[in-house]
Structure 1
Amino acid sequence: MKTLILTLVFLTGCSSQGIDRANQNKITKEFFALVISVEQVKLSSELSSGIIGGATIGVLDELDGNHEEMIAGGLAGALVGGLLTALFEGNNKAYQYKLNSEQEGDFSIIQKQYIETKTDCVKVTIANKASILAVPEDNCKTL
């Protein structure tokens, strides 16, 4: 066990802090925008599909047993399927930011992270995913 932990620590120390390889040959666009409004929203969930899928797998796994084993397998599968789905999805709470910029006009972005803005100015980064970051109001003076 100690060898495994030491190996993991060693491998973690050897990883580089460079640019992610997945970002090669992708355009990254950054600009500033004014926050028009922020609204908390609820993200959709696949929890019921995870429960049904887990229950199906649990029942199928116990098909060679009696009815009680099939029911127990279905319940265990539903529990595991639901739990794994909930862990994978995380919290269903997110925020919809309605923004405006000179280049893009009015647009919105939904993200899980809440941005506490002392000003109404954010930096928008669009690459593979879009994200925003609070910045000083001076960056949005021309908007």
Structure 2
Amino acid sequence: MPPVTALEPLDTDEDALVRALGRVMTVVPKLIDADLKRDAGISLTEYSTLMHLSESRDRRMRMSELAAACDLSLSGMTRAVARLEIEGFVRRFQCDEDGRGWFAALTAAGLARLEAAYPTHLEATRRRILDHFAGFDLAEVARVFDELSTAD
């Protein structure tokens, strides 16, 4: 173990930021999820899944890559894709290259579903997040958030 060094406690502003960030990470996705479910009939997880597939090459991704892109476990992604597959929005098929992996592919119905939900997602994203950052350097905020999310 590394030697224990004296740590300086958080000051009032630092503590307030850390606590607020924790609330934001928990509450905002729930709020956007509720908006999407209420106004578009789709969950945030399902929307994110369709979105990532729509942006990928050939509108398909390996299940493991899709899970990572959506910040879900592989089993969580499998459940989400299974729900979408039942609705006809996604189809799964085995990887020809290695025979072990599985792909998820966006269907035409899935793309239409994503496009129908997009206005709700956009409005919720603006109202729940972006409107609160008016006057901030968004590129710098994004850089800091990216740095936080990739730190080890």
Is TM > 0.5 for Structure 1 vs Structure 2?
no
Structure holding more strand per residue: 1
TM range (shorter): under 0.3
Structure-1-length-normalised TM-score:
0.26
Structure holding more helix per residue: 2
Structure-2-length-normalised TM-score:
0.24
